[in-house]
Structure 1
Amino acid sequence: MIIKQLILGFTFGISMSFISWIVGMVLNGLLMKTEYYEKVSNLNFIKNKGLNKKIGIKNFKWVVKNTFFKFFNQKIKLEHKNADLTEIRSEMTLSEISHLIGFLFVSIVASYKSITTGILFGLAMMIPNILMNLYPSLLQQENKRRINKILNRKIKTVANKGMGK
């Protein structure tokens, strides 16, 4: 019975996570038209590189880069040095917020299913939700931090050249 609940919850969680990507994109499209979008576009849950490493973001990044997931969002690929980092950062923000919305959506469903079906079912739903929604969002936040550093360096370089330094 326990194994059955775990398998069913995990399978349902995978299905809900795929559905949540669509829900996330739709709700993100609506959120973009509000004044709150600017506030949520600069979220930074984990500022510590060491903590990112401990929870496996580096391994997750490898999986995304070396499996079929690499084909999902081609707009956030950095293919050459002259790429528009501002545009790539914007696409990362879209992806990050869509995944966060998806994560919240599945978390609400998992909470409901924990009450109606069983706690194991709901907890098992959260495993794919974390891997398919939370981790991609955290990865985008890490990548945005790296892009921000590069953009800030470019701004400082341009400012220093303008001042004759």
Structure 2
Amino acid sequence: MPVAVYLCASISIVFTTALFGLLINNTINSKDFYNRLTNMNFIRNEAINKYLGVKALRLLIVNTFWSKLNPSLQIPNTRNKEQLLKIRAEMTNAEISHLIGFLITLLLMLTSYATSWHTGIILPLLISNIAFHLHPALLQQYNKRRLDKLLKML
């Protein structure tokens, strides 16, 4: 199959797994173990975040139409602790949804490889998965750390 077909298919798969991530996250967010997921921090080092492009992704999202996709994640000018905690919970929700989507996509890639079924999609799917799931999850963690600093000042 042509690379363009695999690229389009991989983007479609990633967006579909994002929907599954949202559905699964909404199912598990009332469970007891969910609170342990709210403080995940894969990369604490700011230099590594910069190297991986997390800060560049933040600038891209803030300055393009992507910022309109989830307006509940925007920090308002008037800040109170309750409002910021609500935004932090929304960030956690988005982060965990992206991570679930990332894991589902990763399982699909591993299945494709293990069964030698459409192996040409693995690389485009890996790139799409990192761009649309892993990087946004890392960005949410970065933003939560920034928000936590702000909350400590209040």
Question: What's the TM-score, normalizing by structure 2?
Answer: 0.91
Which 10-residue stretch deviates more, 33-42 or 47-56? 33-42
User: Residues 14-163 of structure 1: matches in 2 within 5 Å?
Assistant: 14-82=11-79, 84-115=83-114, 116-154=116-154
Q: Deviations over 1:18-77 (max 9, x none)?
A: 111210111001111211101111100001000000011111112211222111101011
Helix, strand or coil: the match of 2:75? coil
One-letter code aligned to 2:38: S
For residues 131 and 102 of structure 1, the distance between their equivalents in structure 2, rounded to whole angstroms, comes to 12
Helix, strand or coil: the match of 1:79? coil
Q: Deviations over 1:94-136 (max 9, x none)?
A: 0000000000111111111223335442122111111111111
One-letter code aligned to 2:149: K
Q: Which runs of 5+ in 2 are unaligned?
A: none
For residues 134 and 48 of structure 1, the distance between their equivalents in structure 2, rounded to whole angstroms, comes to 17
Paired residues in the alignment total: 151
Q: Which runs of 5+ in 1 are unaligned?
A: 155-165
Contact 1:99 1:136 in 2 (8 A): yes
Note the aligned Cα RMSD (angstroms): 1.5
Same amino acid, percent of matched pairs: 34
Q: Which runs of 4+ in 1 moved over 4 A?
A: none
User: Residues 5-20 of structure 1: matches in 2 within 5 Å?
Assistant: 6-20=3-17
